[in-house]
Structure 1
């Protein structure tokens, strides 16, 4: 077996569990569609999850729901809320200055997960986004930025997993990988997504992401999201990049200082 290749059965089981946990209750057919597996495979996966006590069938209904046992999967994980606590006043202030919503996202596996946003603080948005919303790393400004700052070996491993998992179209993956100019993103200190196709309003917004650091290590992406019809990314860079970088640098400095004080 090739080193670093994910086990498909485990990936599928996790996909099924995530779908059930996210929706709260699903039929077997809905689980199969959500996990993108054949119906017989979904049956075997759910039977295994039921056996392990993570999923149960609802009484008198052919629907499946998560049990309290899923909470055990979070034991030992301590989320660092310091990032959101420190960044929140700064991104709210930035939104007041420029009008557009700002988000903070960090990479979780092959997705970028929203940690906080100011979509609720401005009328210049099509939708409101809340913590937990995910975006693909290869088709979002925050994801491209995160991939650029990910250590080379880890990035290559992630790309290899995406290739062998067959969950991403090979041609798309090839094109996205070719378009991921790591050195340019690092040298410029930002990443751009001309059209956001994997959000709640596909194709209607564009975005620019800048890095937040903890010391010398990339911690999260701070992103401004604007209407694609309102301005081109080049114009948005001219107007907002300095303010974006300045805000991110302030958050980085406060985050690093807070971490240092916590270690004393």
Structure 2
């Protein structure tokens, strides 16, 4: 049975505060109250509770609130439990060395993909804005489409129906028939392409990993600005990705 609302409503409000501070950084009581459309008394109680538990810190000089480092500790503990990152990382570093581009590793998380590792290019000065723990919609990202291409059609339909399908950019696929056609092409060639569908000016090439015994599904990708990602460069990077995928599959099988 799918749950339509949180049975403990105060939990909704507590995590709304946490997510807001994570997105915007240090904020005052009134700003938090306005953003969440909650009265100041309620927000003050929520903040006091979070401060008491160590999840939020209040600056004694500015009286503004920010997340405490306890949140970082929890996220690091979660990431440390994902053994696949330790196995895969050397191969992702090899991919960075081969291409000179930034590489991401993601894990399937419901209708999203979540970044669990990132290796920055040391040769290109332009760095991509991506953070560990950030979620990406499956239907509009290279890694997401690579993951969906491995799924049974029924699961693809369920994910599409549960997703908030919207035009993130002018290139975002919002027609299910078009997505189905693209997934078929991905299955045929072995890799997915995000053609500015999730972020303007950025293209990526991605491939999924077959991890039947890992308890989850994973994919990795190379992302770069479009001026470094023409058709010839995409084919070159795709060849490197498929080679590295083969090496990873041997390591984790």
Same fold per TM (> 0.5)? yes
1:230 equivalent in alignment to 2:228: yes
Q: Distance in 1 between matches of 2:82 and 2:97?
A: 23
Classify 1:151/1:122 alpha carbon distance in 2 versus 1 (closer, same or farther; 3 Å).
farther
Task: Indicate conservation of the 8 Å contact 1:28/1:39, yes or no.
Answer: no
2:188 aligned with 1:191: no
Comparing 236-245 with 67-76, which one deviates more in the overlay? 67-76
Kindly report the root-mean-square deviation, in angstroms, between the aligned alpha carbons of the 2 structures: 4.1
Q: Deviation string for 1:76-95 (max 9, x for gaps)?
A: 95743432222222222222
User: Per the alignment, in what secondary structure is the counterpart of residue 179 of structure 2?
Assistant: coil
1:244 pairs with one of 221, 241, 245 = 241
Distance 1:215 1:41 in 2: 48
CA distance in 2, matches of 1:236, 1:46: 53
Partners in 2 of 1:132 and 1:105 — Cα distance?
A: 9
**TM-score, with structure 1 as normaliser:** 0.68
Kindly provide the CA deviation profile for residues 34-63 of structure 1, in whole angstroms up to 9, marking residues without a partner as x. xxx543268645634644645465546542
1:214 Cα deviation (Å)? 1.6
Does residue 1:101 correspond to 2:102, yes or no?
yes
- Cα distance change on mapping 1:178 and 1:225 into 2, 3 Å: same
**Aligned-pair distance for 1:119?**
1.8
Of 244, 250, 253, the residue aligned with 1:253 is 250
* Deviation string, structure 1 residues 150-173 (Cα, Å, up to 9, x no partner): 56666555545444xxxx659999
What SS does structure 2 have at the residue aligned with 1:214? Answer: coil
C-alpha separation in 2, matches of 1:89 and 1:76: 21
Name the residue aligned to 2:126: 126
2:2 equivalent to 1:3: yes
Is the Cα contact below 8 Å between 2:205 and 2:237 reproduced in 1? no
